[in-house]
Amino acid sequence: MENRSQLIERYLLKEMDAAEKAAFEKDLSTDSSLRQELQAQKEVVLAAERAGLKAEFGSAIRKTIRYRKSIGWGIAGFIAIIGLIIFIILVNRGDHREKTDQTEDATVERFRIKSTTDTIIETREGAIFAIPAGAFDTDAEEVALEIRTALKPEQIIRQGLSTTSNGELLQTAGMFYLNVKEKNKSVGIVKNISVNIPAVELNPKMQVFDGMMDDSGNINWIDPKPIEKKLRTYDIRSLDFYPPGFIPTLKSLQKNYRDKRYTDSLYYSFSNYRQSPLVSTDIMTERTFRDNSIRFAQAIHDSLPPAARDTSIMYQFEIDPSRIRAIWDTRFNNTFIATKEFEERLRFMHGLCTEDFLDIYLERLNQPLYEIDAYCASISKGSTKNMFEHFAERKDGRVPIASGVQDKLSAYVQGKYKSYKEAAESTWQKYQSELRELSTVAETERREQMQREFLRTNENFEKEYCINLTEAYRQIGIVRSCDDTIPPPPPATYYEIEINTTGWKNLDVYVFDATLNRQSMEYVDPESGKTARLTYAETKVQVENIEQYDRVLVYLVPDSLNSFQRMKREGLVFKENLNSLFTYDAVAVAYKGQQSYYFRQKGVKSQEYTFRLAPISETELKGQLNSFSKEKAWSITEDLRYQVFEQQYMMKQLEHQKSERFREIIARSIFNCLESDRGMIESVR
Condensed to tens digits (0 to 9), the pLDDT of residues 417-442 reads 888 878 878 877 887 787 788 888 88
What is the pLDDT, as a whole number, of residue 412?
84
Answer whether 55's CB lies under 8 Å from 81's CB: no
Exposure string (b/e) for 276-301, b if CB count within 10 Å is 16 or more? ebebeeebbbebebebeeeeeebebb
Beta-strand pair 608-611/536-543: parallel
Phi, psi values for residue 263, rounded to 5°: -65, -40
Which of the listed ranges 83-92, 115-124, 335-344, 522-531 does the model predict with the highest average pLDDT?
Answer: 335-344
Does pLDDT of 500 surpass 60? no
How far apart CA 123 and CA 112 sit, in angstroms, is 13
Q: What share of the chain has pLDDT > 70, as a percent?
A: 77
What is the pLDDT, as a whole number, of residue 247?
94
How far apart CA 552 and CA 564 sit, in angstroms, is 16
How far apart CA 130 and CA 88 sit, in angstroms, is 9
Residue 16 Cα to chain centre, angstroms:
35
What is the pLDDT, as a whole number, of residue 75?
25
Answer whether 181's CB lies under 8 Å from 140's CB: no
What is the pLDDT, as a whole number, of residue 541?
97
More confident position, 590 or 486: 590
Instruction: Calculate helix-pair angle for 32-51, 4-12, nearest 10 degrees.
Output: 40
Residue 211 Cα to chain centre, angstroms:
53
Residue 635 Cα to chain centre, angstroms:
49
Which of the listed ranges 95-109, 279-293, 619-633, 642-656 does the model predict with the highest average pLDDT?
Answer: 619-633
Q: What share of the chain has pLDDT > 90, as a percent?
A: 39
Does pLDDT of 130 surpass 70? yes
Does pLDDT of 2 surpass 90? no
pTM of the shown model: 0.56
